[in-house]
Structure 1
């Protein structure tokens, strides 16, 4: 497992635990108010394939991470709005851009 993959997995578990602990929050931005969210974003472009993998599996606010890493706001902020549509939009985006993020990997 690469260093980025290992760091991503650890941070994703921390963030998922934070989100689970606050699942009843009325303000969705509480999910982004955690050091693990900022650390996931700080992993940058190398983390995008891992984010997409998690996004396919669950409904956590991975769109917010993708927006911050890529700067793409086409799909909203990833926290409010039609979250299923946001997720589908990002997964469709990935289909078109995957090669940009995985080029050179064995």
Structure 2
């Protein structure tokens, strides 16, 4: 496992635990206000395939991390709106992006 993969796995587990602990929060931005989220974003583009794979399996706000890293705003901010549609949009984007 690469250094980015190892670091990502640790951070993703921390962030997912934070999201689970705050799942009843009425403000969705509480999920993004965490050092693990910021550290995931700081990993940059090498983390994108790892995020996408995690996004395929889970429902936390991975779209927000993808938006911050890629600059793609097509799917909103990743924390409000139709989150399932956002997730499907990002997965479709990734399938088209990595094929090109």
Structure 2 CA distance for aligned equivalents of residues 91 and 82 of structure 1 = 14
4+ residue segments displaced more than 3 Å: none
Which consecutive unaligned segments of at least 5 residues does structure 1 have? 101-106
Match of 2:2 in 1: 2
TM-score (normalizing by structure 1) = 0.92
TM-score (normalizing by structure 2) = 0.98
Question: Secondary structure at the residue paired with 1:37?
Answer: helix
Which consecutive unaligned segments of at least 5 residues does structure 2 have? none
State whether structure 2 residue 23 is matched by structure 1 residue 11: no
Task: State the Cα RMSD in Å.
Answer: 0.9
Following TM superposition, by how much is the alpha carbon of 1:99 offset from its aligned partner in structure 2, in angstroms? 4.7
Work out the number of aligned pairs and report it.
Answer: 100
